[in-house]
Amino acid sequence: MTANHDLERRIADFYATEPVLRAPDRVLGNALTAIESTPQRRVLMQAPWRFRPLNTYAKLAIAAVAIVAVAFTVRTLMPGNNIGGPPTHGPAGTPLSSPTPDATATQVAALELPADDRPLEPARYYVVVPGSDVRVEFAVLETDWRGNGWYLASPRGSLSFWTVANVYANACEESLLPDPPVGPSVDELVAALDAQENTDLQRLDNPSVGRYPSTRIIMELSARLGTACLGENLELWVGPGGQPGRSIDVQEPPGGREDVMWLVDAGGNRVVIGGYYDRTAPEEARSFTDLIDSIQFVLP
């Protein structure tokens, strides 16, 4: 901890003594010249993520093109056509339905999710869940997702992948980690999060993810926070080796977004998939469920 503090102090000192820079005049000049010929993206002020209203024929035409395009992309990228291969079985569990391998099918290799916030092309990507050897493959169908290593983000929210080593007994007290730590099963994790002080857990349903069973939950602030909750966010859990885990902001999240999580038992490997989006917004919700539905696990 001392070494951490020393390095952070050095970093802070470094940035504090950085000279104040003035941008060359050409920067502003070039930008203002460019905007003379740059139109603004016009949106409805009430719903900035939606397009201007269209007449019926235009809507039907666009919908038809979109259906054909999505169907082609989904057929290419989604599992079920043995693209990417059938899931590997772990020693402790089995998928909910047996795969039917097709030796003649073409395998499309998943790309490693970039870690530099770059825009993602529609393709299959994979993440090795931090703190584990479990590989999660998924399809990105929309063009505004950006890759960041263990999570991906879009204007609609973000999706991240976690290994949970232990759960804080009190989300406002980082010093209180139970000993022994939370057990390895999904049910034990759900119970620990449900018992956590200053947060509320809401069970949603039990969808399958990558053909493995999961429990989908929402974690949110308790209606009444304790006096220990003076910070700006509540910590839910820690990863292996004390790596920081997921937290909840005490500020109201923008646009009705929620912390939706899928707790998956992937053949005895517990994987938590953290979503951050507005379930009540159809376009946002569909974007995330499409991604979840495309998941395949590759187990160690």
Partner 1 sequence: MQAELVDQARRGDREAFAVLAGSAVDRLYGIARLILRDAELAEDATQDALVRAWRDLPALRDVDRFDAWMYRLIVRACADVGRERRRWRTEITVLSTEPSEPDRASDLADRDQLERGLLRLSPAQRAILTLHFHLGLSPGEAAEALAIPVGTAKSRLHYAIEALRAAIEADERLTVGTQRKDRTA
Among 79, 84, 95, 274, which residue sits at the site for partner 1 (rule: CB under 8 A)? 274
Cα(87)–Cα(98) distance, integer angstroms? 9
- Cα 33 from chain centroid? 38
Tell me whether residue 172 or residue 299 sits nearer to partner 1 (CB atom). Answer: 172
Contact between 14 and partner 1 by CB under 8 A: the answer reads yes
Contact between 210 and partner 1 by CB under 8 A: the answer reads no
Among 60, 105, 124, 153, which residue sits at the site for partner 1 (rule: CB under 8 A)? 153
Among 7, 66, 69, 71, which residue sits at the site for partner 1 (rule: CB under 8 A)? 7
Cα(207)–Cα(261) distance, integer angstroms? 11
Q: What stretch of H or E contains 293?
A: helix 282-293
- Longest CA span, the chain: 66
Phi, psi at 75, each rounded to 5°: -60, -35
Stretch 158-177 residues interacting with partner 1 (CB under 8 A): 158, 160
Contact between 2 and partner 1 by CB under 8 A: the answer reads no
Tell me whether residue 78 or residue 140 sits nearer to partner 1 (CB atom). Answer: 140
Degrees to nearest 5, angle at CA 218 with 154 and 280: 55
In single-letter form, the type of residue at position 114 comes to: P
Among 27, 60, 66, 195, which residue sits at the site for partner 1 (rule: CB under 8 A)? 27
Q: What stretch of H or E contains 56?
A: helix 56-77
DSSP secondary-structure letter at 13? H
Binding site for partner 1 (CB under 8 A): 3-4, 7-8, 10-12, 14-15, 17-24, 26-28, 30-32, 34-36, 38-43, 45, 48-49, 115-118, 148-151, 153, 155, 158, 160, 232-233, 235-236, 243-249, 251, 254, 259, 274, 276
